Structure 1
Amino acid sequence: PEVTNSELKKAYRRLMSQHHPDKLVAKGLPEEMMKMAKEKTQEIQTAYDKVSKARKK
């Protein structure tokens, strides 16, 4: 299904907010969880970059 650029950006920001290590530090999570969160945010960023680039073509 097609989504608007606004919807895409909103979903990206929501996911980044949920998984960003800086947000999770305050919750006192173990270092292993922080590492997983960092990897997840990198995956989200990569996916967003690819989709955004493809939409511009």
Structure 2
Amino acid sequence: MNFQKSNHEMPAGLRMALTENLEALNQFTAMPSAAQDSFIIGAKQVSSKQEMRSYVKNLTQAE
């Protein structure tokens, strides 16, 4: 799995949180590239490990 995006480098905390939550990882990889970029930009605003886990968990609670 390539976690390096062309336009936005994925923060290490986001990579870690996604690998800990396979359902969220699957949701993320199924997203269009523009949506992934937007999600990565949002992740850069997260300031703690717990917030990042919550941010990633939100992927599995959409819809």
Q: What TM-score range do you get, normalising by the shorter chain?
A: 0.3 to 0.5
Q: Based on CA coordinates, which of the two structures has the bigger radius of gyration? A: 1
Q: Which has the higher contact order (CA 8 A, sep 6+)?
A: 2
With normalisation by structure 1, the TM-score equals 0.34
Higher-helix-fraction structure: 1
